[in-house]
Structure 1
Amino acid sequence: MKLHFVVLLLFTLLISCSPTSNTEENSISVAVEADDSATEPVPEEKNTVAIDSDEALIATALMAAPEASRADCKVIGYNMAGEFVTLREGTNEFICLADDPKKEGFSAACYHKSLDPFMARGRELKAEGKNHNEIFDIREKEAKAGTLDMGKTGATLHIYYGKESTYDPETNLVDGAKYRYVVYMPFATAASTGLPESPIAPNHPWIMNPGTHRAHIMISPINE
Protein backbone atom coordinates (compact mmCIF):
# COMPACT_ATOMS: atom_id res chain seq x y z
CA MET A 1 0.00 0.00 0.00
CA LYS A 2 2.80 2.35 0.96
CA LEU A 3 4.64 1.40 -2.23
CA HIS A 4 1.56 2.22 -4.30
CA PHE A 5 1.33 5.61 -2.63
CA VAL A 6 4.98 6.40 -3.40
CA VAL A 7 4.56 5.38 -7.04
CA LEU A 8 1.43 7.52 -7.33
CA LEU A 9 3.22 10.49 -5.73
CA LEU A 10 6.19 10.20 -8.10
CA PHE A 11 3.85 9.97 -11.09
CA THR A 12 2.00 13.10 -9.97
CA LEU A 13 5.27 15.00 -9.48
CA LEU A 14 6.49 13.93 -12.90
CA ILE A 15 3.35 15.30 -14.58
CA SER A 16 3.45 18.55 -12.61
CA CYS A 17 7.10 19.16 -13.53
CA SER A 18 6.54 18.77 -17.29
CA PRO A 19 7.10 22.18 -18.96
CA THR A 20 3.81 23.81 -19.86
CA SER A 21 5.60 25.82 -22.51
CA ASN A 22 6.12 22.69 -24.59
CA THR A 23 2.62 22.93 -26.00
CA GLU A 24 3.08 26.67 -26.63
CA GLU A 25 6.43 26.06 -28.34
CA ASN A 26 4.87 23.38 -30.50
CA SER A 27 2.04 25.73 -31.40
CA ILE A 28 4.47 28.51 -32.32
CA SER A 29 6.58 26.07 -34.30
CA VAL A 30 3.55 24.85 -36.22
CA ALA A 31 2.43 28.43 -36.83
CA VAL A 32 5.87 29.42 -38.13
CA GLU A 33 6.06 26.37 -40.36
CA ALA A 34 2.57 27.07 -41.65
CA ASP A 35 3.51 30.70 -42.28
CA ASP A 36 6.71 29.71 -44.06
CA SER A 37 4.82 27.34 -46.29
CA ALA A 38 2.14 29.92 -47.13
CA THR A 39 2.28 31.30 -50.64
CA GLU A 40 3.30 34.96 -50.66
CA PRO A 41 1.10 37.27 -52.74
CA VAL A 42 2.48 37.89 -56.20
CA PRO A 43 2.82 41.61 -56.92
CA GLU A 44 0.59 42.81 -59.72
CA GLU A 45 2.52 43.37 -62.92
CA LYS A 46 2.28 46.82 -64.43
CA ASN A 47 1.90 46.95 -68.18
CA THR A 48 3.53 50.35 -68.52
CA VAL A 49 5.56 51.70 -71.42
CA ALA A 50 7.33 54.94 -72.18
CA ILE A 51 5.37 57.96 -73.43
CA ASP A 52 7.41 58.21 -76.61
CA SER A 53 5.01 59.00 -79.45
CA ASP A 54 2.58 61.75 -80.38
CA GLU A 55 -0.26 59.26 -79.96
CA ALA A 56 0.89 58.53 -76.39
CA LEU A 57 1.14 62.26 -75.65
CA ILE A 58 -2.45 62.75 -76.83
CA ALA A 59 -3.77 59.74 -74.92
CA THR A 60 -2.18 60.75 -71.63
CA ALA A 61 -3.07 64.44 -72.02
CA LEU A 62 -6.73 63.50 -72.35
CA MET A 63 -6.57 61.81 -68.95
CA ALA A 64 -6.40 65.29 -67.42
CA ALA A 65 -9.90 66.03 -68.72
CA PRO A 66 -13.15 64.89 -67.10
CA GLU A 67 -13.87 61.41 -68.42
CA ALA A 68 -17.18 62.39 -70.04
CA SER A 69 -15.46 65.13 -72.08
CA ARG A 70 -12.30 63.34 -73.30
CA ALA A 71 -13.64 62.29 -76.69
CA ASP A 72 -14.02 65.87 -77.95
CA CYS A 73 -11.16 67.78 -76.30
CA LYS A 74 -8.62 69.73 -78.28
CA VAL A 75 -5.01 68.75 -77.48
CA ILE A 76 -2.04 71.08 -77.84
CA GLY A 77 1.59 70.88 -76.76
CA TYR A 78 5.05 69.83 -77.81
CA ASN A 79 5.23 66.87 -80.15
CA MET A 80 8.10 64.37 -80.14
CA ALA A 81 9.96 66.60 -82.59
CA GLY A 82 9.95 69.44 -80.06
CA GLU A 83 7.44 71.62 -81.93
CA PHE A 84 4.54 73.29 -80.15
CA VAL A 85 1.54 72.29 -82.25
CA THR A 86 -2.11 71.32 -82.18
CA LEU A 87 -1.86 67.58 -81.65
CA ARG A 88 -5.60 67.03 -82.09
CA GLU A 89 -8.54 69.28 -82.92
CA GLY A 90 -11.53 69.35 -80.60
CA THR A 91 -15.10 70.58 -80.47
CA ASN A 92 -16.01 70.98 -76.79
CA GLU A 93 -15.18 73.45 -74.03
CA PHE A 94 -11.82 71.92 -73.04
CA ILE A 95 -8.25 72.35 -74.23
CA CYS A 96 -5.71 69.78 -73.04
CA LEU A 97 -2.04 70.60 -72.75
CA ALA A 98 0.15 67.54 -73.29
CA ASP A 99 3.21 66.63 -71.28
CA ASP A 100 6.50 68.10 -72.48
CA PRO A 101 8.52 65.02 -73.53
CA LYS A 102 11.80 66.87 -72.92
CA LYS A 103 11.09 67.35 -69.21
CA GLU A 104 11.45 64.74 -66.49
CA GLY A 105 8.33 63.30 -64.92
CA PHE A 106 4.85 63.88 -66.24
CA SER A 107 2.54 66.90 -66.26
CA ALA A 108 -0.55 67.34 -68.41
CA ALA A 109 -3.38 69.81 -67.96
CA CYS A 110 -6.86 70.50 -69.24
CA TYR A 111 -8.49 73.92 -69.00
CA HIS A 112 -11.70 75.63 -70.01
CA LYS A 113 -11.28 77.25 -73.42
CA SER A 114 -12.20 80.70 -72.06
CA LEU A 115 -8.83 80.61 -70.23
CA ASP A 116 -6.86 80.18 -73.45
CA PRO A 117 -5.86 83.87 -73.86
CA PHE A 118 -4.47 83.87 -70.31
CA MET A 119 -2.66 80.56 -70.81
CA ALA A 120 -1.35 81.47 -74.26
CA ARG A 121 -0.02 84.79 -72.95
CA GLY A 122 1.89 82.94 -70.26
CA ARG A 123 3.46 80.60 -72.82
CA GLU A 124 4.33 83.56 -75.03
CA LEU A 125 6.08 85.43 -72.22
CA LYS A 126 7.92 82.29 -71.14
CA ALA A 127 9.16 81.80 -74.71
CA GLU A 128 10.53 85.35 -74.54
CA GLY A 129 12.64 84.32 -71.57
CA LYS A 130 10.55 85.92 -68.84
CA ASN A 131 10.70 84.28 -65.41
CA HIS A 132 7.76 83.37 -63.19
CA ASN A 133 7.64 86.70 -61.33
CA GLU A 134 7.95 88.73 -64.53
CA ILE A 135 5.12 86.76 -66.16
CA PHE A 136 2.96 87.30 -63.09
CA ASP A 137 3.58 91.07 -63.03
CA ILE A 138 2.99 91.53 -66.77
CA ARG A 139 -0.26 89.60 -66.78
CA GLU A 140 -1.40 91.37 -63.61
CA LYS A 141 -0.90 94.74 -65.31
CA GLU A 142 -2.61 93.63 -68.50
CA ALA A 143 -5.56 92.07 -66.66
CA LYS A 144 -6.14 95.24 -64.63
CA ALA A 145 -5.93 97.31 -67.81
CA GLY A 146 -8.51 95.06 -69.46
CA THR A 147 -6.19 94.06 -72.29
CA LEU A 148 -5.86 90.45 -71.11
CA ASP A 149 -8.99 88.31 -71.13
CA MET A 150 -9.00 86.24 -67.95
CA GLY A 151 -11.83 83.99 -69.09
CA LYS A 152 -15.04 83.20 -67.28
CA THR A 153 -15.03 83.45 -63.50
CA GLY A 154 -15.09 79.92 -62.17
CA ALA A 155 -13.34 78.42 -65.20
CA THR A 156 -11.38 75.32 -64.27
CA LEU A 157 -7.94 73.88 -64.79
CA HIS A 158 -7.37 70.15 -64.23
CA ILE A 159 -3.78 69.03 -63.69
CA TYR A 160 -2.66 65.41 -64.01
CA TYR A 161 0.93 64.95 -62.85
CA GLY A 162 3.47 62.53 -61.41
CA LYS A 163 7.12 61.57 -61.11
CA GLU A 164 7.00 58.80 -63.71
CA SER A 165 6.84 59.17 -67.48
CA THR A 166 5.37 55.76 -68.28
CA TYR A 167 1.77 54.80 -68.89
CA ASP A 168 -0.51 51.82 -69.43
CA PRO A 169 -1.53 51.83 -73.12
CA GLU A 170 -4.69 49.88 -72.31
CA THR A 171 -6.05 52.39 -69.79
CA ASN A 172 -3.90 55.45 -70.65
CA LEU A 173 -3.26 55.91 -66.91
CA VAL A 174 0.14 57.36 -66.10
CA ASP A 175 2.09 55.42 -63.48
CA GLY A 176 1.55 57.02 -60.05
CA ALA A 177 -0.04 60.22 -61.39
CA LYS A 178 -2.43 62.34 -59.29
CA TYR A 179 -4.93 65.12 -59.90
CA ARG A 180 -4.95 68.72 -58.74
CA TYR A 181 -7.84 71.07 -59.48
CA VAL A 182 -7.88 74.84 -59.91
CA VAL A 183 -10.86 77.18 -60.19
CA TYR A 184 -9.96 80.67 -61.41
CA MET A 185 -11.59 83.58 -59.56
CA PRO A 186 -9.75 86.73 -60.70
CA PHE A 187 -9.26 89.28 -57.89
CA ALA A 188 -11.20 87.18 -55.37
CA THR A 189 -10.09 87.23 -51.73
CA ALA A 190 -10.51 85.13 -48.63
CA ALA A 191 -13.15 87.62 -47.48
CA SER A 192 -15.13 87.44 -50.73
CA THR A 193 -15.08 83.65 -50.90
CA GLY A 194 -14.85 82.52 -47.28
CA LEU A 195 -11.89 80.30 -48.15
CA PRO A 196 -8.63 80.12 -46.17
CA GLU A 197 -5.43 81.42 -47.76
CA SER A 198 -3.59 78.17 -47.07
CA PRO A 199 -4.68 74.52 -46.99
CA ILE A 200 -5.96 73.35 -43.61
CA ALA A 201 -6.42 69.67 -44.49
CA PRO A 202 -5.71 67.31 -47.41
CA ASN A 203 -8.13 67.77 -50.30
CA HIS A 204 -9.50 70.94 -48.68
CA PRO A 205 -10.07 73.97 -50.98
CA TRP A 206 -8.19 77.19 -50.34
CA ILE A 207 -7.53 80.42 -52.25
CA MET A 208 -4.11 81.15 -53.75
CA ASN A 209 -2.87 84.54 -54.98
CA PRO A 210 -5.89 86.29 -53.39
CA GLY A 211 -6.71 89.78 -54.64
CA THR A 212 -4.76 89.36 -57.88
CA HIS A 213 -5.62 88.51 -61.47
CA ARG A 214 -4.40 84.98 -60.75
CA ALA A 215 -6.57 84.36 -57.69
CA HIS A 216 -7.76 80.78 -57.80
CA ILE A 217 -9.24 78.06 -55.65
CA MET A 218 -6.80 75.19 -55.15
CA ILE A 219 -7.88 71.63 -54.41
CA SER A 220 -4.79 69.47 -53.89
CA PRO A 221 -4.77 65.67 -53.81
CA ILE A 222 -4.99 63.64 -50.62
CA ASN A 223 -1.54 62.56 -49.48
CA GLU A 224 -1.48 58.79 -49.11
Structure 2
Amino acid sequence: MSRTLLALAMGAVACAAVAGEKDKPAAPFSDDQLIQSATKAAPQKVAAGAKVIAIDDKGVARTLREGNNGFTCMPDNPTTPGPDPMCMDAAAMDWANAWMSKKAPTVGKVGLMYMLEGGTDASNTDPYATAPSKEGHWVETGPHVMVVGAAPEFYAMYPSNADPDTAVPYVMWSGTPYQHLMVPVR
Protein backbone atom coordinates (compact mmCIF):
# COMPACT_ATOMS: atom_id res chain seq x y z
CA MET A 1 0.00 0.00 0.00
CA SER A 2 1.39 3.41 -0.89
CA ARG A 3 2.22 6.16 1.57
CA THR A 4 -0.46 8.33 -0.11
CA LEU A 5 -3.16 5.73 0.45
CA LEU A 6 -2.22 5.13 4.03
CA ALA A 7 -1.92 8.80 4.88
CA LEU A 8 -5.28 9.67 3.41
CA ALA A 9 -7.18 6.53 4.33
CA MET A 10 -6.17 6.73 7.95
CA GLY A 11 -6.30 10.48 8.33
CA ALA A 12 -2.50 10.90 8.23
CA VAL A 13 -2.36 10.71 11.99
CA ALA A 14 -4.08 7.71 13.04
CA CYS A 15 -2.83 4.79 14.83
CA ALA A 16 0.08 6.73 16.26
CA ALA A 17 -1.92 8.16 19.13
CA VAL A 18 -5.05 7.60 21.16
CA ALA A 19 -7.46 10.50 21.06
CA GLY A 20 -7.16 12.29 24.37
CA GLU A 21 -9.01 15.21 25.82
CA LYS A 22 -9.39 18.13 23.43
CA ASP A 23 -6.66 20.29 24.98
CA LYS A 24 -4.25 17.52 25.91
CA PRO A 25 -1.78 15.70 23.69
CA ALA A 26 -2.73 12.15 22.87
CA ALA A 27 -0.93 9.25 24.51
CA PRO A 28 0.63 6.64 22.20
CA PHE A 29 -0.89 3.22 21.69
CA SER A 30 1.29 0.19 22.34
CA ASP A 31 1.89 -2.15 19.41
CA ASP A 32 -0.26 -4.76 21.17
CA GLN A 33 -3.15 -2.26 21.43
CA LEU A 34 -2.81 -1.37 17.75
CA ILE A 35 -2.83 -5.04 16.75
CA GLN A 36 -5.84 -5.70 18.95
CA SER A 37 -7.72 -2.78 17.34
CA ALA A 38 -6.80 -3.78 13.79
CA THR A 39 -7.77 -7.42 14.18
CA LYS A 40 -11.29 -6.50 15.31
CA ALA A 41 -12.01 -5.51 11.71
CA ALA A 42 -12.23 -9.07 10.34
CA PRO A 43 -13.47 -12.51 11.40
CA GLN A 44 -11.15 -14.09 13.95
CA LYS A 45 -9.63 -16.68 11.59
CA VAL A 46 -8.91 -14.04 8.93
CA ALA A 47 -7.49 -11.58 11.45
CA ALA A 48 -5.28 -14.26 13.02
CA GLY A 49 -3.30 -14.68 9.79
CA ALA A 50 -3.39 -11.07 8.59
CA LYS A 51 -0.47 -8.68 8.38
CA VAL A 52 -1.04 -5.68 10.65
CA ILE A 53 0.26 -2.22 9.84
CA ALA A 54 0.02 1.13 11.61
CA ILE A 55 0.52 4.62 10.28
CA ASP A 56 2.61 7.25 12.03
CA ASP A 57 1.79 10.95 12.19
CA LYS A 58 3.71 11.51 8.93
CA GLY A 59 1.69 8.88 7.05
CA VAL A 60 4.46 6.28 7.03
CA ALA A 61 3.41 2.65 7.39
CA ARG A 62 5.03 0.39 9.94
CA THR A 63 4.51 -3.36 10.05
CA LEU A 64 3.41 -4.45 13.52
CA ARG A 65 2.98 -8.10 12.64
CA GLU A 66 3.69 -10.13 9.54
CA GLY A 67 0.86 -12.17 8.05
CA ASN A 68 0.43 -15.29 5.97
CA ASN A 69 -3.04 -15.16 4.43
CA GLY A 70 -2.93 -12.20 2.01
CA PHE A 71 -4.96 -9.83 4.22
CA THR A 72 -3.70 -6.60 5.78
CA CYS A 73 -5.43 -5.00 8.76
CA MET A 74 -5.15 -1.45 10.06
CA PRO A 75 -6.29 -0.17 13.46
CA ASP A 76 -9.01 2.35 14.21
CA ASN A 77 -8.32 5.96 13.35
CA PRO A 78 -8.88 7.79 16.66
CA THR A 79 -9.51 11.10 14.85
CA THR A 80 -12.69 9.87 13.16
CA PRO A 81 -16.07 9.77 14.92
CA GLY A 82 -16.69 6.02 14.81
CA PRO A 83 -14.73 2.78 14.99
CA ASP A 84 -13.10 2.13 11.64
CA PRO A 85 -10.42 -0.56 11.73
CA MET A 86 -10.24 -2.29 8.37
CA CYS A 87 -8.85 -5.47 6.89
CA MET A 88 -8.47 -6.11 3.16
CA ASP A 89 -7.12 -8.61 0.69
CA ALA A 90 -4.45 -7.74 -1.89
CA ALA A 91 -6.95 -6.91 -4.65
CA ALA A 92 -8.78 -4.51 -2.31
CA MET A 93 -5.45 -2.91 -1.37
CA ASP A 94 -4.79 -2.31 -5.08
CA TRP A 95 -8.30 -0.84 -5.50
CA ALA A 96 -7.83 1.43 -2.47
CA ASN A 97 -4.45 2.59 -3.78
CA ALA A 98 -6.06 3.49 -7.13
CA TRP A 99 -8.82 5.40 -5.32
CA MET A 100 -6.42 7.39 -3.18
CA SER A 101 -4.12 8.04 -6.15
CA LYS A 102 -7.15 9.16 -8.19
CA LYS A 103 -6.38 6.52 -10.80
CA ALA A 104 -8.82 4.09 -12.33
CA PRO A 105 -8.84 0.72 -10.55
CA THR A 106 -8.58 -2.48 -12.54
CA VAL A 107 -12.14 -3.52 -13.39
CA GLY A 108 -12.68 -7.19 -12.71
CA LYS A 109 -9.95 -7.46 -10.07
CA VAL A 110 -12.43 -8.09 -7.27
CA GLY A 111 -11.37 -7.45 -3.70
CA LEU A 112 -12.88 -7.85 -0.25
CA MET A 113 -12.64 -5.47 2.69
CA TYR A 114 -13.88 -6.08 6.23
CA MET A 115 -15.00 -3.32 8.61
CA LEU A 116 -16.79 -5.41 11.24
CA GLU A 117 -16.41 -2.83 14.00
CA GLY A 118 -18.46 -0.35 11.99
CA GLY A 119 -17.32 2.59 9.99
CA THR A 120 -17.11 6.30 9.98
CA ASP A 121 -19.91 8.35 8.48
CA ALA A 122 -19.15 8.87 4.80
CA SER A 123 -20.45 10.47 1.65
CA ASN A 124 -22.39 7.96 -0.41
CA THR A 125 -21.79 9.91 -3.63
CA ASP A 126 -18.40 11.65 -3.41
CA PRO A 127 -15.30 9.44 -3.04
CA TYR A 128 -13.26 12.42 -1.86
CA ALA A 129 -15.65 14.20 0.53
CA THR A 130 -14.09 14.95 3.89
CA ALA A 131 -16.97 16.59 5.74
CA PRO A 132 -20.74 16.14 5.82
CA SER A 133 -22.85 18.16 3.41
CA LYS A 134 -26.35 17.83 2.03
CA GLU A 135 -24.93 17.36 -1.47
CA GLY A 136 -22.63 14.60 -0.21
CA HIS A 137 -25.51 12.37 0.88
CA TRP A 138 -23.74 11.38 4.11
CA VAL A 139 -24.55 7.91 5.48
CA GLU A 140 -23.67 6.02 8.65
CA THR A 141 -22.27 2.73 7.49
CA GLY A 142 -22.19 0.49 10.57
CA PRO A 143 -20.42 -2.92 10.53
CA HIS A 144 -20.01 -4.11 6.95
CA VAL A 145 -17.96 -5.82 4.29
CA MET A 146 -17.18 -4.26 0.93
CA VAL A 147 -16.80 -5.81 -2.50
CA VAL A 148 -14.59 -3.62 -4.68
CA GLY A 149 -13.28 -3.80 -8.24
CA ALA A 150 -16.18 -5.71 -9.80
CA ALA A 151 -17.54 -4.97 -13.28
CA PRO A 152 -20.36 -2.40 -13.54
CA GLU A 153 -22.85 -5.20 -14.34
CA PHE A 154 -22.32 -6.63 -10.87
CA TYR A 155 -23.17 -3.34 -9.16
CA ALA A 156 -26.23 -2.84 -11.39
CA MET A 157 -27.93 -5.65 -9.45
CA TYR A 158 -28.03 -3.55 -6.24
CA PRO A 159 -29.66 -0.28 -5.14
CA SER A 160 -27.49 2.68 -6.02
CA ASN A 161 -29.55 5.70 -5.02
CA ALA A 162 -27.85 8.64 -3.31
CA ASP A 163 -29.66 8.10 0.00
CA PRO A 164 -29.67 4.32 0.48
CA ASP A 165 -31.16 2.08 3.09
CA THR A 166 -27.93 1.10 4.85
CA ALA A 167 -29.60 -1.95 6.42
CA VAL A 168 -29.43 -3.79 3.08
CA PRO A 169 -26.63 -4.14 0.49
CA TYR A 170 -26.19 -0.98 -1.59
CA VAL A 171 -23.69 0.61 -3.96
CA MET A 172 -21.55 3.41 -2.56
CA TRP A 173 -20.02 5.98 -4.95
CA SER A 174 -22.25 4.71 -7.76
CA GLY A 175 -21.30 5.81 -11.24
CA THR A 176 -17.69 6.56 -10.29
CA PRO A 177 -14.69 4.34 -11.01
CA TYR A 178 -14.66 3.63 -7.25
CA GLN A 179 -18.18 2.29 -6.86
CA HIS A 180 -18.32 -0.64 -4.49
CA LEU A 181 -20.87 -2.83 -2.77
CA MET A 182 -21.52 -2.16 0.90
CA VAL A 183 -22.92 -5.21 2.70
CA PRO A 184 -24.16 -4.64 6.26
CA VAL A 185 -23.51 -7.51 8.66
CA ARG A 186 -25.67 -6.59 11.65
Normalising by structure 1, report the TM-score.
Answer: 0.49
Distance in 2, Cα, partners of 1:103 & 1:202: 19
Q: Assess, with a 3 A threshold, how the Cα gap between structure 1 residues 89 and 104 changes in structure 2: closer, same or farther.
A: same
Per the alignment, residue 182 of structure 2 pairs with 218
Q: Assess, with a 3 A threshold, how the Cα gap between structure 1 residues 121 and 98 changes in structure 2: closer, same or farther.
A: farther
2:166 is aligned with 1:183: no
2:160 is aligned with 1:197: yes
Alignment coverage as a number of residue pairs: 137
Query: By how many angstroms is 1:56 displaced?
Result: 0.6
Which structure shows the bigger proportion of residues in helix conformation?
A: 1
- Which amino acid is the alignment partner of residue 184 of structure 1? V
Structure (1 or 2) with the larger CA radius of gyration: 1
Higher relative contact order by CA 8 Å / sep ≥ 6: 1 or 2?
Answer: 2
Q: Assess, with a 3 A threshold, how the Cα gap between structure 1 residues 65 and 151 changes in structure 2: closer, same or farther.
A: farther
Query: By how many angstroms is 1:86 displaced?
Result: 1.5
- 1:196 and 1:206 in contact (8 A); partners too: yes
State which of 145, 148, 152 in structure 1 corresponds to 2:109.
152
- Which amino acid is the alignment partner of residue 152 of structure 1? K
Query: By how many angstroms is 1:220 displaced?
Result: 3.3
2:16 is aligned with 1:60: no
Q: Assess, with a 3 A threshold, how the Cα gap between structure 1 residues 67 and 98 changes in structure 2: closer, same or farther.
A: same
Normalising by structure 2, report the TM-score.
Answer: 0.58
Q: Assess, with a 3 A threshold, how the Cα gap between structure 1 residues 54 and 103 changes in structure 2: closer, same or farther.
A: farther
Structure 2: any 5+ residue segments left out of the alignment?
1-26, 121-141
- 2:148 and 2:180 in contact (8 A); partners too: yes
Alignment identity in percent?
Answer: 28
Distance in 1, Cα, partners of 2:36 & 2:107: 28
Structure 1: any 5+ residue segments left out of the alignment?
1-49, 126-137, 164-177
State which of 63, 70, 75 in structure 1 corresponds to 2:47.
70
